[in-house]
A and B are shown apart, each in its own frame.
Chain A
Amino acid sequence: MKTVFAAQGNIISSLGFTAEENFSAMEQGSSGIKKHNNTKFLPFPFYASLVDSEKLNKNFSALSENENYTRLEKMFILSIADVLAKSALDVKSENTLLIISTAKGNINLLEEANYGGFPEKRLLLAEMANQITGFFGMKNTPLVVSNACISGVLGIITAQRLIGSGQYENVIVTGGDLVSEFTLSGFNSFKALSDEPCKPYDIKRKGITLGEGCGTVLLTSNDKLLNKSEKKIRVAGGSVSNDANHISGPSRTGEELALAVNTAITEACCGKQIDFISAHGTATDFNDEMEAKAFSVAGLEHIQLNSMKGFFGHTLGAAGVIESIVTVETMKRNVLLPSLGFENSGVSMPLNITRKSESKQINTALKTASGFGGCNAAVVFKSV
């Protein structure tokens, strides 16, 4: 199997339009979650992490004269363009594939009269994906991964397998989702939305805060594409599991997430030598409790862990990519980030949750995600 390196990354979120802007804001403990009063989305005020539309459109106009792209497509294109600008990758090569991770894609078009002026087929994820490869002139048909909230991590694991087996040299993994009336009303119908910024793992947690954004990372077996001055990080192992328990509630024991974690760790050959866990931490009662049990089952309860949802909310299919990029940055910079919103533990098993930004040598990190449909995913990043 070929070694799969994580090269350049980009994040577009409420905290900024580059990975650097996002990381700096997070280091300072800033959150992009704000109170919004938009009756188009919900009949009452709600907390969410939203991307600045004015800046999005301004940045897009600077990149392209053709502005006939949806809001989410603009995010994908800007995010990929930033990665390409920082990389020597030949995006038009037959050795390069685009993987798009998304839960709902252009679902906001359903909410607009006449689909916002776009053809109806733009609701189809493959059509949305074709718009993006078309913009960059990529040769290969893009691969769309749509697995609820593990879409992002699964995109990275899929890329690792496709590069590891030599089918492609480079895979650009991009994950994106929007906050919309569709998603807000849905999570609200489940009574899963928090009426204040989310507090993962905290005793006072009240549920999810939704976020929107896009993350893009270049994965490659070509180490010439890595930034020379930086620590080399590789995708060392990854796995997926299913709870086989309930379609909208997580496992009661956490054994299945632990199974994915243990399989990923075995593939990465790192034993329990993990320096940091970027967990899912949605701040719902059931999710956080399940994760606490899972990390206990896996024997990882002592390892420093955070949830990034307090910074930019739950970005659904984008979350796994965005949070993996932050995890890789954490490793390159040797800086641990706090788990924003956490004060006192509200889960039944012990977890070592980070409270403040601190310097720490981080050579191995685990990223996990879980989602509707009972799916769990885990990926291990290691420095070379």
Chain B
Amino acid sequence: MRYLLLVMALTIGTLAAPVQAVTLKWAAQNDILTLDPHSQNHATTHAIIQYAYEGLVRYNAKYEIEPCLAVSWTKPDDLHYRFNLRKNVRFHDGSPFTADDVVFSFNRIREPQGTNQIYVSGIKEVNKVDDYTVDFVLSGPSPILMRYIVDFRIMSKAWSEKNRSQHIQDYAKKEETYASRNANGTGPYVIKSWEPDKRIVFEANKNWWGKLDGNVTEVIYTPIRSDATRVSALLSGEVDLVTDLPTQDVDRLRKEANLKILDGHEVRTIFIGLDQHNDELKYGSVKGKNPFKDVRVRHALNMAVDREAIRKVTMRGLSLPAGIMVAPGVHGYSKDIDLIPKYDVAGAKKLLAEAGYPNGFEFTLDCPNGRYVNDEKICQALVGMWARAGVKVRLNALPFSNFIPKILNFDSSAYMLGWGVQTFDALYSLQSLVRTKTTGADGSFNLGRVSDPQIDRMVDQAKIETDEAKRDKLLRDGLVRTRDQYYYVPLHHQMRPWAMKKNVTITYSPDDRPTARFAVVKEAQKQ
């Protein structure tokens, strides 16, 4: 009898165990900007939104394309794709997923007030064939279409219309909609709540069509701005995973017995953008002309930056000085063209004098604080370096949520930005950052409004070029021309180690999107 009871107790014990929630507590520096999946092309926002919203295809853990909301596709010719959609998929609110939602989302993501058009660029139309089939009509051949549409995420037409969120919020005007505060996708996790600057709670979607690779049933994301607090939270065990470590603490965390560090390169390049559109800098001392329109001035600013000192001191070795606008790991990157402008203060002064500024000039540098690794400290260092060349820079550091509307409204003469390459292909960077700005995806983050017909031709040709060798040549030429015209001041490619408790296993993602469906959290040892 006693034995029987023991067996029963054991059985109940083992039965009860899997019901228990497995929680992954994840912390990083930033909060998301919005929950609207079509609104802001912002890495942290996408990293969170991908838990709830899915696209037709997705990346697997090795960053290869695999089917997601589409189960298969055919390509009758270069300009047409036919997608067969997954059946019996439901959105979190219970409404069924059909072709109407794809067509609706396509029209929605293209609205000009969003910044995600790039993910459907080159797609002319999306047509419904039947409830579970859609046709994509392209404006030209698109060799890497699949990599683009990973982030073309599908919203429910019925839900959006019911909640008056058919249109994207106007983020630059600080508009809020139901969809910017609530999420309703088809994805593996349901976003239970978002308390801005406090936490986001996710719960595994029991009705998800797929199967989690890991065992995490609950994710709590906590944005912690302060470096010291974030590290303390990890050390005290309050959080399991921190994905942006303060560079100065990495060495110390490596020595912690309860933690492990996952090293990796992010595919993100940090750079300074310069207003090359206005005839006079809005925030500058030069009247009547714009010094940044002069290639010699841009060259001088590039020369005056001691990238090696930033790497060694400010980044503590966790960066790779950059000469071109894409990072290693991006298709189109090649070490032989990533040449760093030689650090030469005297040369910079000479160039400035030639350009007509022997005594330098002044301008304001807008800098986000707490968006990129050591962003404000890098800006401060730049102020010093440029001062040595005679250019007096006033630093305006502001939180990212104030910074981004400011630069999107072109209310900046110089700004720091980082560009991660979601498609792992250099066209994405060239098209967003250097292609002349139009209302769509072209030049969507070309906020200094660089305009070079030669680059425009290369970009437009690369979009439709199907011959791989010719396409690679176009990308290379585009990157080299951007470098040689000094349209930007590239600083470095960011490295970003993650730290986690020993019992957490997760795949490193170079696009900075820790994905909980790949994560395993083993039961922690009792302490």
Are these two chains actual partners, yes or no? no
B interface, CB within 8 angstroms of A: none
A interface, CB within 8 angstroms of B: none
